[in-house]
């Protein structure tokens, strides 16, 4: 196959070249470039949304950490009171524990009976 070029750098004959000098390949490249630009823009907006979501999740995690810290302090204080209570009369502690267990049993029985 022999290709003969004209003076303007285009091959002789009609090989997909337009009369203005732009080839079909250049038009295809322009179309693909625009498609790529659209995809890059979509990926950019998606990454921005992901960044925003990560910031919100980090903020919520920080708030949860603070809540867990305060709950840990409350639990520590409660355990301290329990230790103080356990140092007292063992009979009194046993009575309190049995009354609490009985109360929990009745609450659970009542909940099951209502269903």
Residue 20 lies in a domain: no
pTM: predicted TM-score of the whole model, two decimal places: 0.45
Dump the DSSP string for 51-103: HHHHHHHHHHHHHHHHHHHHHHHHHHHHHHHHHHHHHS-HHHHHHHHHHHHHH
Residue 18 lies in a domain: no
The number of distinct structural domains making up the chain is 1
pLDDT at 33 > cutoff 90: yes
Residue 67 lies in a domain: yes
Domain of residue 45, residue span:
30-114
Residue 88 lies in a domain: yes
Residue 25 lies in a domain: no
Quick one: pLDDT band at residue 50, thresholds 50, 70, 90? very high
Residue 7 lies in a domain: no
Residue 103 lies in a domain: yes
pLDDT at 68 > cutoff 50: yes
Chain centroid to Cα 87, Å, comes to 48
Residue 74 lies in a domain: yes
What are the CA-CA distances from residue 83 to residues 68, 87, 90, 98, 102 (Å)?
Answer: 22, 6, 12, 17, 22
């Amino acid at each position: 196959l022999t290709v003969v070029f004209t003076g303007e750098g285009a091959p002789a004959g009609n090989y997909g070249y337009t009369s203005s000098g732009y080839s079909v390949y250049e038009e295809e490249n322009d179309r693909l470039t625009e498609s790529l630009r659209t995809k890059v823009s979509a990926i950019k907006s998606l990454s921005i949304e992901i960044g925003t979501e990560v910031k919100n999740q980090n903020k919520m995690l920080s708030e949860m950490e603070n809540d867990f810290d305060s709950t840990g302090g409350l639990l520590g204080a409660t355990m301290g009171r329990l230790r103080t209570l356990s140092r007292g009369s063992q009979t009194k502690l046993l009575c309190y524990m049995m009354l609490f267990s009985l109360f929990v049993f009745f609450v659970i029985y009542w909940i099951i009976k209502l269903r």
